[in-house]
Amino acid sequence: MSTHLRHDLNLLLTTLLTGKLPRSLSWADTLALIGHIGEVQPHGHDESVFIVRSQRAFFKHPHTHDLGVEEVARLRKFLRDAGPELPASAPSQPCRMVVVIDHHGAHIYKDVDGKVPESEHTGRPYDPFGFHHHLIHKKEANYKGERVPEDKTFYEEIAQDLLPANEIVLIGHGTGKSSAVDHLAEYLKANHHDISRHIIAIETADLSALTLPEIEAIAKQHMIAVV
């Protein structure tokens, strides 16, 4: 058992123990996590035994590359019963980002760490997200009209900004080939699986009338504040 987890496994363990339950979970990531905090033993041709402290559980190898939501829930119960302590280096709160994208550009918002600076004495209610503090920047696509840009650099630049995120909400308008948000999601899935697996929601909205409080409200429907 390793006493030091990789950063991504730190985040995964924290999410499984205290965060929003993932809809699916990579089997490879599951094996890596259990192998670091405990032991994985093969059992037959389609099953593995997970051992963490005094707890043992059998998990069938998924037919796809991911565990389904029911197995993820069972994994959470197993980990909580095993009682592994959160690593000291585990972050107190995930890095959460929101992308609002249309055919003309993308606004990328990042939350703060949930702590009000000591010098900031305001009557503002505690907000563990605070997306309004971090408008990262706006990227403009170099084209005109209503078609999704063919220039992949537009989406690649967004992908690079999303590298630190472990919870991502995408907001756009329209669906299918004409939708920039769907195009971004497909691009990330095809070219950046490590980023794509952190997308927890894709929402559609009228971006022409969308306000910042509404953006925050959409994000908070899907994100969990870990405090």
pLDDT of 138 over the 50 cut: no
More confident: 34 or 125: 34
The pLDDT score that the predictor gives to residue 149 is 47
The pLDDT score that the predictor gives to residue 126 is 36
CA 213-217-222 angle, to 5 degrees, is 150
More confident: 20 or 28: 28
pLDDT band at 202 (very low <50, low <70, confident <90, very high): very high
- The string of pLDDT tens digits covering residues 43-64 is 988 999 999 989 999 999 998 8
- The string of pLDDT tens digits covering residues 77-103 is 999 888 755 554 444 456 788 888 887
pLDDT of 225 over the 60 cut: no
State both tokens at 56: 């043992």
The pLDDT score that the predictor gives to residue 94 is 61
CA distance 139 to 142: 9
Average pLDDT value for residue range 10-30 = 82
pLDDT band at 117 (very low <50, low <70, confident <90, very high): very low
Percent of the chain clearing pLDDT 70 (strictly above): 71
Long-range contacts of 157-162 (CB under 8 A, 24+ apart): 158/99, 158/101, 158/106, 158/108, 158/184, 159/187, 159/188, 159/191, 159/192, 159/195, 161/97, 161/108, 161/136, 162/97, 162/99, 162/108, 162/188, 162/192, 162/195, 162/198
**What are the sequence ranges of the domains in the chain?**
7-82, 96-222
CATH classification (class only), 96-222: alpha beta
Q: Residue 3 has what DSSP assignment? A: S
pTM, two decimals, is 0.51
CA distance 140 to 107: 9
pLDDT of 221 over the 70 cut: yes
